Amino acid sequence: HLVGRCVATSLRPPLSAPLAASLEPTSATTAARFSLAASGMRRLAAAALAAAALLRPASSECSKHIRFGTFDEANPYAALAPSQWLDDDEVCWVYYRQLSGGRAVAHLDSGELDVAMLGSTPYATAVARGAALTAVAVLHNKGTAQALVVRCALHGPQDLRGTTIATPRYSTTHYILLAALDEAGLDHVETAELPSAGAAAAADRVTVVTISPTEIEAAWSAGRIDGGAVWGNTLVNLTSADWGGSPPSGCQPEPAHEMITAEMLALWGYETLNVLAVRNAFLSRNEALVERLAAGIVRANADYRLASERGRWAAGPGGEYNSLVSAFVALEAPGYDSNVTLARVADRVAKFEYPTAEQQLEEQSYLAAQIEKQADFMFSQKVLASIPNASGTDVYATYFNASFLEAALAAGAASGFDSDGPRASPLAPLQQESVLTPCAGWAVEVVNASHAPVLAPHWPPPHAGGGGGAYRTDESCVWAVAVEEPTQCVELRLPFLSSEPPHDVLEVFSSSGLLISSFTGRASPPNATVRACANSTTLAGAAAVGTALTADRDLDVSLPEAGAFLAMFLRWSTDGHDEMQLGNYTAVGFRASVSLEGDASDCPSCGPHGVADSAGGSCGCRCDAGYAGSSCELETCNGVVTRSEAEGAVRATAVGRYDAYSRCGWLLTGGGAPFVALNLSSIRLELGFDEVRVYEGGVIPASFSAASTTSDDFLFSTFGSSPAATLAVRTPAFVAFTSDGVWSGSGFELAWSAQQAACETDADCSGRGSCRDGECRCDVGAYGPTCSFEKCVGLSTIEGAVAGMLQAIDDSQDDYLSSVACRWELAMPTTIESLDPPLSVTGLRLNFSLFELEEPQVTNPDLGIRSSTTDAVRVLDGNGTILDTFSSTSNANRPTMGEAIALDGPPPFTLRFDTDINNPRPYRGFRAFFLAATKEETLCHAEHFPCTDVEKPECRLFAGEAHGYCTAKSSPPTSALLPASLAATFAVLLLIGGLCCVVQRRRRRRLKGIIKEAEREFARWEPLPEEHRGATALRAQLTESILRVRSSLSFRGTDVGDSRPGSGNASPAARGVRSLPKRQRPRVVSAVGLPEERYHCFLSHVWSSGQDQARALKGQLQRYVQNIQPFLDVDNLDDTARLEEHVGNSEVVIVLLTGSTPARSCPSSPPGGARSDYFGSANCLRELHAAVARSKPLLLVLETDPTHGGVPLEVHRSACPAELRAKVFSAPLVTWHRLRPFQMCSMRLLIAELLRAWKAPGAERPIFLPGDLCRSPPPQLATKRTWHLCYSRDNEGAAELVARLERASEQQLRATADAEQMRSSAALLLYLDGATFGGAGLPDRSKDGAASEGLVRLVRRALDDGIPMVLVHEQRSVPEAVSFDEIIRRTPAELVSAGIYRPIATPLLDEPHAAVAVRLVLNNLDLICRRIERHNSGVIGSLTALAESLTRIDMDGDGEIGNSPTRSSEHAPGSAPKPRLKWRRRTPPEKVASCV
């Protein structure tokens, strides 16, 4: 009936070939179409096949084949495929059955498919990974069509603990399963390997196994899983077949039953659906075809909604559309029963929900929100390495193009099918492999002049359809290609290959088993050649490689006569999935030929991208960077390339992006050198999925060598956009690069050069280790062959260490790497020979002082997303047995800080730190101390492993070590105390006793003065406000008096002999102390009155560059502010999840702005590569957001030292998020300096701002801290010289500085610009900036040659005459400011060598710190004056004065004759003489300068 009806109707497309030609028998007409068990359906299929042979055009007539990825789900639009409704004369749609959404995404993004049906979860992961695809329609909502099904005795989620559940990775059922476990509060561990038979699952969690639907069905039948989250035919099969395991008590073997459906999860907010996704490159060129496809899907869904289970959608006779869906779903499913199939499929179609096109257009934002939620959830569950940085659903909305739905509505698709709907006959041809026989598995081909074999398993004969049978699934075929002479070469030509990547692949191996090339995929023909030459290796010698290549098949490797020499191996391998092309399919498989290609000494043609290279004994092509292949014809890397030259460079690709499914390796021998230096740069790989690994010492991973027997112990790995890496690697070095099918970057560049050693000096170890025996021994926290990494990567070997410390990252870092497997091999001796008697090592002891690994937590409160993690530290013994596992997943797995842990096992021990694919927040990793353990716990450590034996409580350290052995306490033998030593000891004790007596007498006299001062201070107590009365008031009054006395003591005790700038020690303490005005005495600052249960300030900082500032700031605040309670994370933070809570519990948030910057010439130079570390920290931004949201007062502290994280404020401002910028940078700003006097000024300003933020009483009153230079009057500057300072008018800026010094000294300072008066001056002032000795690049302050020469002559005279120099370095924000190194560079060499810079320069900073700099200059000048006084007042000074009086000659150059000044130098030219100042005991308060 159907065939006759089909012939009677108008055929679309029309018959274009002669009927006689169509009747020619072809493999397409004889291939099985659908495997239908019942005879009625089989007769229908036979009739359809006959019609297809007569009426369908051959695929060779299709000018375009469109590859469409589908699943075995029963939906209305499935009727379009077997009916070939979308085909026309030129376009053929071919449907490929996909195994899972993850595979479909990879095939779509890599160009293997043009269009695909994707579940919302695979689509969300594709969008998050930046795949080049677009969704054009929603196909359906999942409803009850997907479910978690389980065995008997499992009734609810609470029963799943301790079970193993399987699901395909990246699928919507993967999302459903993880969401159900998350909602039930169940922890899980995820693995891609099915547990071995009989293995018990973890009892406290759910084991999730991500395998294919085919593997799930097999595991269910074998009883190796307890259930599965599945769909389609797999769901039908699991609910139809009995579970193969041993049922628990009270159960019988029975099929799976539903526990949770997709519909239930949708009610909880986890809605799943399917979309129609199109590859962007295809969409841009074929919009009309995509429009037709979208219209067809809209029509099919609309037609089903309008006539559900009626007419053509009926489950019985006349249900033409339902029969098409049934045929599409079944294909070759075994046990297909036609009597119940139509009803069952109709029921499966009804399980889905089909939104209308209008609903889809109205709910685009809802769709984007659901896709975002699924991406965020899969990120938290460690399925994704990263998610789009931009927040909000707009990122996901851009991946949906609604214009095709609008066009479908405009074309009337919402009304369903008309008379041109799908027809059940003829059915589309089906390509499948079930009729084919397996390959031989192992074959040997000896190539000679008369035998050039063609290798093409199951290759169909050519015919009008151009198609044929598919290759077999789950197959492995190996060919050993040999030649008759040891110097002959063969060439493999591969004109055709089409397979499902990367699972079905053709690999070419060398005679030694090294992977030469691999070919997979169908996006484009490979058109490749592979050349390989034989050597002395016979087939018998290569038996091990042949056995390894066929190991998974357990084949008998037969060998021919001994006269053959092996040239290469070929292996064709497939997995267990058949894509079963439906439609006018094309050929699949491969066709290859092998022929002789000259001798090993003959150089091949290398084309424009390579040169011939005869290194290694045979001539081949050395390709340019980025090219590969025997003739350098490939534009991306492929297989393993051996490079024997001493230096060179390679790249992942010569074009913009590397290939999907790349598998490339480079074996670098370094020209025979023991080491090669590798420089990896321009790294741009997909984070978490594409990776570069570096191996050393001949280690080659198994995926690149069939002969590999080593474990995958890589030295280094990198991914993402990692910074450049420099490594010194032992040869032969191997660099491996692998990628998956989604998103390709530009790859990387690798340059290498031969070295005789990994290092020659300590400088080669990056300043973070020492060079020993040609290898770097890295400091703790440094990693890599040259200690250049601050986070652990790969393998670190610690030779011969009995004790030590390990940590995941350097202290300057705040987050360990994701997707790494760090290993520390503790190659400790098996016997401790330094003990008497020697003892064997029987175990390992650990003590953790830091353990901050990722822990499960809520990562998105708005979406209710809770993260999981597998980050863990494992300890293995010498047998590979895991002794213990530490993680943050539960308190039971988390080690106790400071508590020793004993682990028993034989050495050597290995610590493995494995991290999952991402870190939602920064974590600092771990820090652990280790110590070898002996049977009696003989070994000990002074701090971390004390002795516990009461009979041996003392830890006696080994020489030069921090560890030792436990021993009983003992006194030294009497014989050791020799008489001479005893006498010397008594002499030293007597001397010390005498000194102590002298010091004690002085301290006693001083104490009397303190008591008197305290009595005077107590007599001047001021009454406090009413709110500070009581016990607290008494404490405040006592504290104030004590602080006043303490400040005066510190002022008295200043060492006047300390000439270091910045010390603030040029006070007149040696001559007495003037009492300060009341307004300048130190004021007691207290946090009394603030809530004691809250933190008074929160120190927000980034660990990498602000840790030491935060620690110093906390200490200073606690020193100068009574009762203050600052929050500092290392002291007060117990859980990073509580950061926002601690911010809310603080009165003020102090923000320490630090960053990173390359070395710059001066503070005012352009920032260049400067960046803000603070605003680059996720935790710091969390703290800021919390502070702004809670309206907390902010105080900014800006680091100014570039070597400690100082970058310009504008760098921080530009890095600050826009929503925070106005609030943050309107807060008060205090600059932070390292020198003590300037730091005291910063502290005074900061405390004043704190008081204002606290709204404390009297907050506006000035504050003077103990030791603050601005609280003391200026020094007296007493000298017999005519002038205190001499300066030059050629020294631009000096006159301005002198004027300020005069004001600050209360007009005491006497200065002259007359060079002739320099010998009558106490010192020469030299103001240093970029224009001092020549202003190159400074047009506003440039000097002419004469002025510069005049200054140089003056300075040279001062150095020759021994005149002291006062140096002031300009560091304010002015164009003339340059670094001190630059000043030295511009200074004439003769002045530098003469010692111009022996005095330390005082930095002149911006206000308000400039006042401190001026005071430091005056203190320095006062020190010089007093030194001159001491010199003139001694015996030599008296004799010199007498000689001058007799001869009337100024002998000492002080401008005086005897004790009177010379007539010519009594006063400056043109000015009135100034009386010489005498020492004043006290300065009136009104003349004391106020410095705020």
239-294 tens-digit pLDDT: 999 999 988 887 888 999 999 999 999 988 899 999 999 999 999 999 999 999 99
pLDDT tens by residue, 1283-1292: 889 998 888 8
Kind and range of the H or E run holding 692: strand 691-695
| 624 — pLDDT class (breaks 50, 70, 90) | very high
**CB contact at 8 A, 827 and 861:** no
Q: Residue 175: is its pLDDT beyond 70? A: yes
Please state which of the ranges 20-29, 560-569, 608-617, 748-757 shows the lowest mean pLDDT: 20-29
Please tell me the least confidently modeled range out of 138-147, 1322-1331, 1424-1433. Answer: 1424-1433
CA nearest to 455, candidates 586, 570, 568, 573: 570
Q: How far apart are CA 1204 and CA 1152, in angstroms?
A: 12
- Could you report the per-residue pLDDT of 733-748, keeping only the tens digit for each? 999 999 999 988 899 9
129 pLDDT higher than 80: yes
Question: Does residue 59 surpass a pLDDT of 80?
Answer: no
- At residue 1036 the predicted structure's pLDDT band, cuts being 50, 70 and 90, is very low
**215-224, 876-885, 1045-1054: which has the minimum mean pLDDT?**
1045-1054
Percent of the chain clearing pLDDT 70 (strictly above): 79
The share of the chain scoring above pLDDT 90, in percent, equals: 35
Where is pLDDT greater, at 431 or 58?
431
Comparing C-alpha atoms, which of 1047, 1080, 1467, 1072 is closest to residue 1275? 1072
Q: Is pLDDT at 1017 greater than 60 in this prediction?
A: no
Cα separation, 96 vs 87, whole angstroms: 15
Give the Cα-Cα-Cα angle 219, 225, 231 (nearest 5 degrees): 75
Q: Model confidence over 1156-1200: pLDDT tens digits?
A: 876 433 443 444 578 899 998 888 999 999 999 888 999 999 998
Mean pLDDT score of the chain, rounded to an integer? Answer: 80
Instruction: Please indicate whether residue 242 or residue 962 has the higher confidence score (pLDDT).
Output: 242
Q: What 3-state DSSP class applies to 98?
A: coil
Count of CB atoms within 10 A of residue 297's CB? 27
Per-residue confidence band for 1134, with pLDDT thresholds at 50, 70 and 90: confident
301 Rama class: left (phi>0) / alpha (psi -120 to 50) / beta? alpha
- Look at residue 232 in the predicted model and tell me its pLDDT: 92
**Better-scored residue on pLDDT, 220 or 1339:** 220
Sign of CA dihedral 339, 345, 350, 356: negative
pLDDT of the residue at 152: 93
Sign of the C-alpha dihedral computed for residues 240, 245, 246 and 248 taken in this order? negative
pLDDT, residue 1492, reads 28
Residue 806 has pLDDT above 50, yes or no: yes
Token pair listed for 1046 = 């303490």
* Alpha-carbon span 576 to 580, nearest angstrom: 12
With a cut of 70, say whether residue 536 has pLDDT above it.
Answer: yes
Q: What is the pLDDT of residues 983-1011, one digit of tens each?
A: 666 777 888 877 887 877 777 777 776 66
pLDDT over 50 at 75, yes or no: yes
Is the pLDDT confidence value at 151 over 90?
Answer: yes
**pLDDT level of residue 1451 (50, 70, 90 thresholds):** low
Asked if 802 and 932 count as a contact pair (C-beta separation under 8 A), the reply is yes
Residue 1304: Cβ within 10 Å count: 18
d(CA 909, CA 883): 10
Q: How far apart are CA 916 and CA 867, in angstroms?
A: 12
Dihedrals phi, psi of 1445, to nearest 5 degrees: -65, -35
Per-residue confidence band for 1487, with pLDDT thresholds at 50, 70 and 90: very low
CA pair distance 1148, 1140, nearest whole angstrom: 13
Which positions ≥6 away from 1111 have C-beta within 8 Å?
Answer: 1128, 1130
Average pLDDT over residues 1143-1149: 91
Helix or strand (DSSP H, E) at 573: strand 565-573
pLDDT at 597 over 80: yes
User: In Å, how far are 1035, 1186, 1193, 1224, 1450 from 1196, measured between CA atoms?
Assistant: 31, 16, 10, 8, 57
- Residue 48, pLDDT > 50, answer no
Which pair of tokens denotes residue 951? 């009979």
Euclidean distance between CA atoms 575 and 269, whole angstroms: 37
CB 696 within 8 A of CB 715: yes
pLDDT tier at 188, thresholds 50, 70, 90: confident
**Is the pLDDT assigned to residue 76 strictly greater than 70?**
yes
Residue spans of beta strands (DSSP E) within 888-970: 900-904, 909-914, 925-934, 939-941, 954-957, 963-967
Q: Which tokens in the block code for residue 666?
A: 């480079």
Span 433-491, pLDDT tens digits: 655 566 767 888 889 888 888 776 554 433 223 345 678 888 888 888 999 888 899 99
Is 20's pLDDT higher than 60? no
Decide if pLDDT at 206 tops 70: yes
How does pLDDT run across 1238-1262, given as a tens digit for each residue? Answer: 888 888 889 889 888 888 877 777 7
pLDDT at 1450: 53
Is the confidence at residue 402, as pLDDT, over 90?
Answer: yes
Helix, coil or strand: residue 46: helix
Cβ-contact 1144, 1092 below 8 angstroms: no
For residue 898, give the DSSP letter: T
Question: Counting every residue, how long is the chain?
Answer: 1492
Mean pLDDT of 871-881: 94
Mean pLDDT lowest among 42-51, 360-369, 501-510: 42-51
CB atoms within 10 A of CB 850: 14
Separation of alpha carbons 257 and 246, rounded Å = 17
